[in-house]
Amino acid sequence: MDPGAETRKTPPTKGHRMSQQSLTVIGLGPMGQAMVKALIEAGIEVTVWNRTAAKAEAMAELGAHRAETAAEALDANRVIILSLTHYQAMYDILGPAADHLRGKVIANLSSDSPENTREGAAWATEHGAQYLVGGFMSQGDDIKHPDSYLYLSGPKDVFEAHRDLLRPLSRQEYLGDDYGLAQVFYQAELALFHAFLIGWEQALAIVDRSGADLDRFVAGASGHPNSYRDFMREFAEGAKHGGWGDLHSFKMMHAGAQHVIDASEDLGVDARLTRTVQDYYRRAIEATDKAGHPVPVYRIIRGDAA
Ligand code: NDP
């Protein structure tokens, strides 16, 4: 029996599965651990390896096999999931074991830039592996949350051949052959998410510091997310034509940002995010004055109005 086979035959005894799927997970931070649990729950046999051994031991207690070395983890299965802080960790771990990569399928679900992702794919495929890239748009490490999903890209045949094995991880959004595309979408969503989270914390701090009822505010503010969806779609349409806005709207937004800054700073709340926002509108006003026609913030952000 080939221990590296992705579908293992086990004896058809009562209580045993006719066939057992298996894969390896390297990297056991919160995401790697969540994946191991979801895979084991789905009846998949999982081998794990992690730089800090204690995390692998904890997974072994849940039923995972623990490899002693990264090379052993590669040898254990044909399909290898990487869940690491960044792509450098892949080179640190797999570099010394690179002669074990031939014939493997590496699904790197770690975050990094699209360019680093494409370079990583080239590195792995030069060593004889097939490669898939993933970006987890999960609700934190709750990959089983109904709103969690996984962007994937890489060769379609590789995706098609392994989509069922990877299905327990999250809903899949396959984007296409370009290895970098999953990270383009993932990092773009994170750009929004980061600004949203800091903006939300500023909003909470304003209400909290004012002495108003935080729960009452949250109940109202979190009750109408659809209005953001409409802005997203309208601005996306605008982006296709160079962005939204005219001089009046830029001045209105600039003045509005000042009110948020005042409301924040009067209460001792940090308003640096809003100062950054206001600076975009200041630049749009100046660029518009200079050009003699509207220069939307989108053009400044896109790098068209340097
Ligand atoms: P962590 O940063 O907690 O760690 C992931 C793993 O990377 C750990 O096992 C760590 O090993 C390992 N690692 C880091 N650097 C090295 C190195 N140089 N050599 C060997 N191993 C290394 O990540 P998460 O589990 O939180 O996330 C994994 C990926 O998923 C990241 O890219 C993250 O951006 C992304 N992500 C995370 C989400 C979350 O909510 N946590 C949500 C969506 C995506 P050790 O245990 O030894 O430190």
How far is ligand 1, taken at its centre, from the CA of residue 29, in Å?
Answer: 5
How far is ligand 1, taken at its centre, from the CA of residue 84, in Å?
Answer: 4
Is the CB of 151 within 6 Å of ligand 1? no
The DSSP bridge pattern shows strands 130-137 and 149-153 to be antiparallel
Q: What is the rounded average pLDDT of the residues 121-149?
A: 96
How many Å apart are CA 207 and CA 216, to the nearest integer?
Answer: 10
pLDDT value at position 223? 83
pLDDT value at position 213? 97
In angstroms, the Cα distances linking 217 to 150, 213, 223 are: 32, 6, 10
Is the CB of 91 within 6 Å of ligand 1? no
CA torsion, ordered 82, 169, 56, 101, to nearest 10 deg:
-30
Is the CB of 92 within 6 Å of ligand 1? yes
Is the CB of 222 within 6 Å of ligand 1? no
Q: What is the rounded average pLDDT of the residues 159-171?
A: 96
Is the CB of 85 within 6 Å of ligand 1? yes
| Cα–Cα nearest to 213, from 204, 200, 222 | 204
18 pLDDT band (50/70/90 cuts)?
very low
Q: What is the amino acid identity at position 102?
A: R
| 8 A C-beta contact, residue 179 and residue 156 | no
> Whole-model pTM?
0.91
How many Å apart are CA 306 and CA 291, to the nearest integer?
Answer: 12
Q: Over the stretch 215-269, which tens digit does the pLDDT of each residue have?
A: 999 999 988 777 888 899 999 999 999 999 999 999 999 999 999 999 999 999 9
Position 292 pLDDT exceeds 90: yes
Q: What is the rounded average pLDDT of the residues 65-70?
A: 97
How far is ligand 1, taken at its centre, from the CA of residue 115, in Å?
Answer: 19
Count CB neighbours of 192 within 10 A. Answer: 11
Nearest CA to ligand 1 atom 18: 89
